[in-house]
A and B are shown apart, each in its own frame.
Chain A
Amino acid sequence: MSAQVAIRHRQGDFTLDVEFTAAAGGVTALFGPSGSGKSSIVHALAGLTRPDQGRIVLEGRTVLDTRAGIFVPPEKRRAGLVFQDARLFPHMNVEKNLLFGWRRSEMRASAPDVSRTIALLGLEPLLKRAPKHLSGGEKSRVALGRALLASPDILLLDEPLANLDAARRADILPWLERLRDIARIPIFYVSHSLDEVARLADRVVLLDAGRVRAQGSVFDLLAGLGAEKPLGAVLQATVGDIQDGLSTLLFDGGVLLATEVGQPGKQVRVRIGADEILIAREAPKAISANNILPVTISNVRLDGMRAEVEMHCGSARLVARITAASVQRLQLKAGICAFAVIKSVIVEGG
């Protein structure tokens, strides 16, 4: 099952006009700068706003069809929404907050399932606490649990980490990864953080000024994005044997080496910065970098003094940011074979 979305809505000067789909059991990131329409889409999905025109089908159930006059209100929509500011009920303790949606759900999760969700999010020690005695990260986890326990058909996360500092964010991300791996419902994740999207999402809907600029797999779409620290590649890899104290990471296109990251067989996600990739026309010898991948250049984009070189290694897409002068000197162009020298990789467990 899946979610199909088509929305057209005008609000003042802003026009939202989007169409996309999401698969079950996967995270679809709605990614774009602020004002691109991310939150408007989430509110429309939850039923908190009623678009001028549109059709939304969740798990085969039409919850909005303006042409047919269908509008399922939020309380009947079974769309779990986790707000940026958590929005826990201040007059209820954590346990009552968690069970608020569960009590009202038509398909109540069984008691063991409830306990499992509470355990998954590490909430047992917090159950009797009042929301005001929780840290920001704990509030996010309770909000997540509360939405999950209502047995929703779809889970909407509206920048759940935006209000947290870097340390708290690092606390929460593993919980979200666990959630992603066990949830059987489509998850929409709204974010303007490239790193979060690269780490969590399976699919990405790129939004800009109320339009869908692109949509596709996180591995294809993210490389090359980002202004300050552009992303060079996002790869899914399997941890292999340990060689010389380094873990081998097998991906579709070759093998990467990284400092030890865990047991063989484990699935990990690898991120490489676009500034961390060098290009060589010949296989370099006697070089400190551990990772040198043979690649085929598929595109070269010049932008003033800078250049973005797009390459493929197997099905993996890599983008390096180098100077226009280097492109000239090496005579890089689409179709030629070269070597990508990777200075460093970031590995995150999945």
Chain B
Amino acid sequence: MPFLTPDEIEALLLSLKIASVAVAVALPFAVATALILARSFRGKALLDGIVQLPLVLPPVAMGFLLLVTFGTRGGVGAFLKDHFGIVLVFRWTGAVLASAIFTFPFQVRSIRLALEAQDMGLDEAARTLGAGWFDRLVNITLPLALPGLVAGAITAFAGALGEFGAIITFVSNIPGETRTLPLAIYTALQTPGGEAEAARLSALSILLAFLFLLGAQAIMRRATAKAGR
């Protein structure tokens, strides 16, 4: 990419790294949450509300909350540092946490829709053929929900690439550590004569988002055709 400066490439790669790790870390939790929400139980509306909360929460407020909680003097932050040597604040791992939380609802919603659309008759058939709970989850439920899983992961990934408020509040704007694409755009705009750089990075962000959207659709189409439904 000859038209990008080394700093810009660094921001791009960092963004991709943070977004993919955030999606991967959140995925198992999203699957578990979606499996729970696909059933009916008391207090389902409450859990559903909590899961969806990041969609309406102001990112800056959430970033502040994370700073208080996971800062080295915050309750959880101090515990993680003292017992596991894990520090999230001002680190790229903190950006991962913030991105994972904000894109969690996208993953849960997509997986849940796929699970709810599933024919429970196949689950019954697998049971009568001797497949226990975990066996059915791994061999029937999840493979059939795969299009939903992939679509959710891609949406979440695209969303994570754009996260700004929570990252800058929680882990600040450190080049090479937490300065992702949106933060680089913001920084460029703060610098006199940085408009050209901001325009390049913005165009790159839009292009990336568009590519992922197309990719998600293509994968969905293929998976749907393969499943024969």
Contacts and interface: CB of A to CB of B under 8 A. Distances in A.
A binds B: yes
Contacts of A83: 121, 124-125
Contact of A87 (B125, B132, B226): B125
Interface string B166-192: 000000000000000000000000000
Interface-central residue, B121, B127, B131, B229, by most chain A CB under 10 Å? B127
A105 B128 CA distance: 11
Contact of B128 (A46, A131, A132): A46
Contact of B131 (A47, A81, A104, A146): A104
Contacts of B122: 87, 89-90
A246 B17 CA distance: 83
Given A130-B228, A132-B228, A85 B121 contact: yes
B198 to A, nearest CB: 46
A75 B144 contact: no
Contact of A76 (B126, B130, B135, B226): B130
Interface in A167-215: none
A73 B144 CA distance: 23
Given A75-B131, A146-B129, A87 B144 contact: no
A76 B135 CA distance: 13
Interface in A14-68: 46-48
Given A85-B121, A132-B228, A90 B144 contact: yes
Interface in A275-303: none
B129 A104 contact: yes
Contacts of B119: 87
Interface string B121-148: 1101111111110010000100110000
Interface-central residue, A48, A75, A131, by most chain B CB under 10 Å? A75
B49 to A, nearest CB: 32
18 contacts: A46-B128, A47-B128, A48-B128, A73-B127, A75-B128, A77-B128, A78-B130, A80-B129, A83-B121, A85-B121, A89-B125, A89-B126, A90-B228, A90-B229, A100-B129, A101-B129, A101-B130, A105-B130
A91 interface: yes
Nearest to B121: A87
Given A75-B132, A85-B121, A104-B135, A91 B127 contact: no
A73 B136 CA distance: 14
B124 A48 contact: yes
A101 B131 CA distance: 8
B61 interface: no
Interface of A: 46-48, 73-81, 83, 85, 87, 89-91, 100-101, 104-105, 130-132, 146-147, 150
A11 to B, nearest CB: 17
B125 A81 contact: yes
Interface string B203-229: 000000000000000000000001111
Contacts of B129: 75, 80, 100-101, 104, 146-147, 150
Interface-central residue, A48, A74, A77, A131, by most chain B CB under 10 Å? A74
Given A48-B128, A85-B121, A87-B124, 7 more contacts: A73-B127, A75-B127, A87-B125, A91-B144, A100-B126, A147-B128, A147-B129
A79 B143 contact: no
Pairs A-B, 10 closest by C-beta atoms: A132-B228, A101-B129, A104-B130, A87-B125, A74-B127, A81-B128, A90-B228, A75-B127, A74-B128, A91-B143
Contacts of A146: 129
Contacts of B131: 75, 100, 104
Given A131-B228, A132-B228, A89 B128 contact: no
A77 B121 CA distance: 18
Contacts of A80: 128-129
B128 A91 contact: no
Nearest to A73: B127
Contacts of B229: 90
Contacts of A87: 119, 121-122, 124-125
A53 B196 CA distance: 77
Interface-central residue, B125, B226, B228, by most chain A CB under 10 Å? B125
B138 to A, nearest CB: 12
Interface-central residue, B121, B130, B227, B229, by most chain A CB under 10 Å? B130
A46 B228 CA distance: 28
A140 B18 CA distance: 49
B139 to A, nearest CB: 8
Contacts of A78: 130
A80 B143 CA distance: 23
Contacts of A89: 122, 125-126, 140
